[in-house]
Structure 1
Amino acid sequence: MDDHDLLRMTPGPTEVPERVRERMAEPSQNPDVEPEFVDFYRDLTEKLEPIYGDGDVAILGGEGILGLEAAVASLVDPGDKVLCIANGLYGEGFADFVDLYDGEATVCGGDWREPIDVDAVERELETGDYDVATMVHCETPTGVLNDLEPVLDRLTEHDVISVVDAVSSLGGTPVPTERIDVVLGATQKCFSAPPGLTVCAVGDRAWERIETVESRSFYASLEPWKTVIEDEWFPYTHLTANLQALDAATDLLLEEGLDSVYARHEAAAERCRERADDMGLEVYPKNSLASPTVTALDLEGRATDLQAQIREDHGIVLSTGLGDLEDDILRIGHMGHNARIDRVERTMDALEAALE
């Protein structure tokens, strides 16, 4: 089957709508010499505020993982204690960045099918003098959506800076951005723009800490972005075509209305799981934890074969799990432009046929 005919129902990168592709192909300003680019960038960051909250929005040139590293590089000095709150692959992975920048990481982890253990977090905060805490809102590899509010309550009580990877949830489901010190997002998930940009919101407490941390990176640093607009200067030549695509994708979200966008994701997720239940399939996490942006199905050693068969026979691209779960989890991304009932029905028809 021709690649142009494939339906990519993956949990990122997601399908890019025609309007976004067309905007990306338009002539670009020179960000290094044209003052109009500064106005465009300023307008885009302001446009993103309803989604990202009250923090200063910065758009970095690099895929979403850049945001995770930049947050650690900017907030963690050697020897600083960081609590990595985790119930999944990316939550645990924050510790690797902490180690890379010579911080002291403690992983407060648990069963990947269970919610974050808030009591364990409280015990760690009471016994350790932590400077920063990291966590993930939507663990895409397992389809888990974490309830952040109880954890944020504890972090606030202990005056710990919060860093949240919301890459797979922003623009698809509500995120308590007003309570988070550093919110990390990206373009290729619920925004349905091409991969290539990290988008983050940095609050006042985080900026205050960033000013005290000795920078050990330039590209992976948030510090230069504090005065970008005021100084009309960017740390490097920005990715203008990607920014144009993000601008168009953000327009689509805001024109539809965030409440309508969230409802569309919920409806797509509900229908996906109804169909899965009809087939006798189980969602990998507890149903109360399942994200409205991705469904992870427990297929016990059949996932990679089914993935290949569905692409070959039906022209639909799905994702499997990651790491040890690669052959046990089949993931359906109903996020961004693909959070639509007709696309979910087509996908589940293909899965049902493959199982038969």
Structure 2
Amino acid sequence: MIEFRQATPEDAPAIHRLNYETFVEEIPQHQPNEERRLVDRFYDTSTYWVGEQDGHLVAMCALRTAHPFSLEQKGVRLPPGEWMEIRLLAVTRSYRNTRTFAGLMRAVMEDALARGVKGVVISGTTREQKLYRRFGFVPFAPPVGPVEARYIPMLLTRAGFFESETSAVLRPKLLLAGPVELSLNVRQALTSQPMPHRSNEAKRLLQNVQAKLSRLVKLPYMYTLLGSGTVANDAVAVRLAGRGLILDTGEFGKRLMDHARRAGLLFDVLAMPHSEADWREVERYAPKWIWTVHCETSTGELVDMERLRRYAGEHDTIVAIDAISAVGTFEIDYSFADLVTFVSGKALRAAPGLAFVAMKKRAEPIRRIPRYLDLAQYDPIAFTQSMSLIKALEVALDELTEAEIETHQRKMDVLQETFAKHGVPFKKKPNQAPGILALHLPDPLSSSELGNQLHYHGYRVQFESDYLKAANCLQISTMGWTTTRDVRAVATLVATWMHKKTATMERG
């Protein structure tokens, strides 16, 4: 596994050697010397990104913001704005027909764009113009340099990069629990012209989508809000009354507690029940309502819905379920529940932006609450709605067949089997969700460092949330349009990185 990282002082000899091999021996830009090393004149004012494989430097690139740029020293006038110069882009011959160049460019562009510059400029060799243009680079000045080492000044704006032919290749595949990897058909639907949300066509479209969602979760009444799962859970909180019970499942169980506090609800808290004895503890509280997540996103664990179903059947208790990370990952019958929340941007495989509250009974008006949270007004559209999101969701639901839903468990099995095969220290959980797996890294390994490496290799996983950083944890999700090949590749990269890091630390 190639590790892409910012260079350290210890990398200097290898950088100077690769610099010589590329820009003296291959591209005759400098004179040969007996040492076979070339120290760039801007070395001390540049940030180097390198690709390292088994202790050998196989790729490099320099970023520079200090003026004058090398282009300026050659008499080239830069366009107005703040720019960064990319220099000394080099990949060793044996790695040029691999994904090394793409990984290096992901790392470099991530660094460059994070600095807030307008874009980057580069001296592009005349023989690689096709490659540069694929990345979105465009010439902005006449060629410079001698005939044997001719360069064309080129620039790449942020917009140019994201709209380029190659950006689609460099864009990492999303193995996130949201936003998820979308199908081409869904992405195309998102580009459709908006339609008036009060039109008969808009109402027909939403009613059709809501009917499909009702069949999916087995609840008759569906309310669609523009927003995230947070607003859906707020809409649930204002409908609960009396003293209730919230199951503490972890980070997202605690978020339900925050919703309840802000709504002024009275409630007790019980750690997530795992056994029959735990569930008998629920009876001691005799709650008017129970509120829980189905899949605790932070841990990838499921709450036993069958026990909750039995309890609800034996007691006159309102049941509310946050099913945001569960709906679409496997078949589930929520008909026993009174309120269930979920969203468009997870396992439904649509774009984020739509939130849903499914109910057993029709929502009654509540005049004392904010108008946006009063679900009784949604019949079917109460306020401005994004019909483009609704159209995209309709396409996504047509694609979400039973066979597709079943792929989540297969991908989760492959993920865990690959971890086991490569000796990754991961303990299988009996209540493991099929949609998301949480991997806690042992100290001193860093989940952030691993997450970034996966990004450079073409896969985005979750690791940047504060609660994940605190737990030194990353999450790998099966929710989007990904394949068993994708999850196997990610698991193999994780194992390779962990073994390499552990071995390096042991040698140290």
User: Shorter-chain TM-score: which interval?
Assistant: 0.7 to 0.9
Q: Report the number of matched residues.
A: 330
Cα 1:109/1:267, change in 2 over 3 Å: same
SS of 1:98 mapped into structure 2: helix
User: In the alignment, what sits opposite 2:11?
Assistant: none
Cα 1:160/1:282, change in 2 over 3 Å: farther
Deviation, 1:329, is: 1.7
Say whether 1:173 aligns with 2:330.
yes
Q: Deviations over 1:275-307 (max 9, x none)?
A: 1112322446x5211111111112124211211
CA distance in 1, matches of 2:474, 2:340: 28
CA distance in 2, matches of 1:266, 1:137: 16
SS of 2:347 mapped into structure 1: coil
CA distance in 2, matches of 1:249, 1:322: 27
SS of 1:185 mapped into structure 2: strand
CA distance in 2, matches of 1:156, 1:212: 26
Say whether 1:84 aligns with 2:246.
yes
> Is the contact between residue 272 and residue 345 of structure 1 (CA under 8 Å) also seen in structure 2?
yes
2:422 to 272, 276, 279: 279
Say whether 1:252 aligns with 2:395.
no
CA distance in 1, matches of 2:339, 2:425: 34
CA distance in 2, matches of 1:215, 1:276: 52
> Is the contact between residue 71 and residue 222 of structure 1 (CA under 8 Å) also seen in structure 2?
no
For the pair shown, which has the larger CA radius of gyration, 1 or 2?
2
User: In the alignment, what sits opposite 2:408?
Assistant: 265
> What are the equivalent positions in structure 2 for 1:4-153 lying under 5 Å apart?
4=168, 5=170, 6-32=172-198, 34-73=199-238, 75-77=239-241, 80-110=242-272, 116-128=274-286, 130-153=287-310
TM-score of the two chains, using structure 2 as the length reference = 0.61
Cα 1:174/1:88, change in 2 over 3 Å: farther
Deviation, 1:150, is: 0.5
> Is the contact between residue 179 and residue 345 of structure 2 (CA under 8 Å) also seen in structure 1?
yes
CA distance in 1, matches of 2:399, 2:462: 26
> Is the contact between residue 144 and residue 291 of structure 1 (CA under 8 Å) also seen in structure 2?
yes
Deviation, 1:224, is: 1.7
> Is the contact between residue 365 and residue 376 of structure 2 (CA under 8 Å) also seen in structure 1?
no
What amino acid maps onto 2:375 in structure 1?
A: L
Query: Higher helix proportion, which one?
Result: 1
TM-score of the two chains, using structure 1 as the length reference = 0.86
SS of 2:246 mapped into structure 1: strand
Deviation, 1:214, is: 5.3
CA distance in 2, matches of 1:87, 1:14: 23
Q: Higher relative contact order by CA 8 Å / sep ≥ 6: 1 or 2?
A: 1
- Structure 2: runs of 5+ lacking an equivalent: 1-105, 110-166, 501-508
SS of 1:58 mapped into structure 2: strand
Deviation, 1:118, is: 4.8
Cα 1:62/1:325, change in 2 over 3 Å: closer
Q: Deviations over 1:13-48 (max 9, x none)?
A: 10111100111111232012x222111111111122
Deviation, 1:51, is: 0.9
Cα 1:325/1:36, change in 2 over 3 Å: closer
Cα 1:67/1:283, change in 2 over 3 Å: farther
User: In the alignment, what sits opposite 2:339?
Assistant: 182
Q: Which moved more, 1:48-57 or 1:139-148?
A: 48-57
CA distance in 1, matches of 2:197, 2:432: 41
- Paired-residue identity, %: 22
CA distance in 2, matches of 1:163, 1:322: 26
What amino acid maps onto 2:447 in structure 1?
A: A
SS of 2:177 mapped into structure 1: coil
> Is the contact between residue 95 and residue 106 of structure 1 (CA under 8 Å) also seen in structure 2?
no
> Is the contact between residue 281 and residue 299 of structure 1 (CA under 8 Å) also seen in structure 2?
no
Say whether 1:241 aligns with 2:384.
no
User: In the alignment, what sits opposite 1:291?
Assistant: 433
Cα 1:139/1:152, change in 2 over 3 Å: same
2:375 to 222, 234, 247: 222
CA distance in 2, matches of 1:131, 1:222: 21
CA distance in 2, matches of 1:185, 1:61: 12
CA distance in 2, matches of 1:119, 1:55: 33
Deviation, 1:273, is: 0.3
Q: Deviations over 1:150-202 (max 9, x none)?
A: 02211332211111111111111122212211121101111111110012311
Cα 1:172/1:162, change in 2 over 3 Å: same
